[in-house]
């Protein structure tokens, strides 16, 4: 999905604030500027309007669920710039969800699940 990512600026604690990303999904390439906001156990990301979409909003929340377990909630809202056939939306959604699930699983296994960081 993400072909290239560049952190444009950071918050004082080192976490990314604005990120430039080139994504490719189902052969469609788009360039995004993402703005991140961080909390103690969550991160929110909004994309500026691009050629392919009017907007995008993403939320990640990590919560404890028993000893040594965490639940990660991921919400994404995308407003495409034009009509897209349902089968393409379904396929693109599956690709995005699979990539996000894999990335979040790896992150949770490698980090403290209750402290999102720039590491």
pLDDT tens digits along 2-40: 678 899 999 999 999 999 999 887 777 889 999 999 998
pTM: 0.75
**Helix runs in the chain, H state only:** 86-110
Rounded Cα gap, residues 95 and 69, in angstroms: 25
Q: Tell me the average pLDDT across 36-60.
A: 90
Rounded Cα gap, residues 72 and 41, in angstroms: 10
Q: What band does 111 get if pLDDT is binned at 50, 70 and 90? A: low
The answer to whether residue 118 scores a pLDDT higher than 50 is: no
The answer to whether residue 119 scores a pLDDT higher than 50 is: no
Q: What are phi and psi of 16, to 5 degrees?
A: -60, 140
More confidently predicted of 104 and 37: 37
Rounded Cα gap, residues 92 and 78, in angstroms: 11
77-103 pLDDT tens trace: 888 888 888 888 788 788 878 877 787
């Amino acid at each position: 999905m993400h072909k290239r990512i560049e952190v444009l600026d950071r918050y004082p604690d080192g976490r990314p604030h604005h990120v430039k990303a080139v994504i490719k999904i189902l052969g469609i390439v788009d360039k995004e500027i993402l703005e991140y906001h961080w909390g103690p156990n969550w991160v929110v990301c909004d994309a500026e309007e691009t050629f392919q979409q009017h907007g995008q909003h993403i939320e990640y929340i990590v919560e404890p669920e028993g000893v040594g377990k965490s639940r990660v909630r991921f919400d994404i809202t995308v407003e495409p710039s034009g009509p897209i056939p349902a089968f393409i939306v379904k396929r693109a959604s599956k690709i995005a969800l699979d990539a996000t699930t894999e990335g979040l699983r790896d992150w949770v296994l490698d980090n403290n699940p209750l402290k999102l960081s720039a590491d």
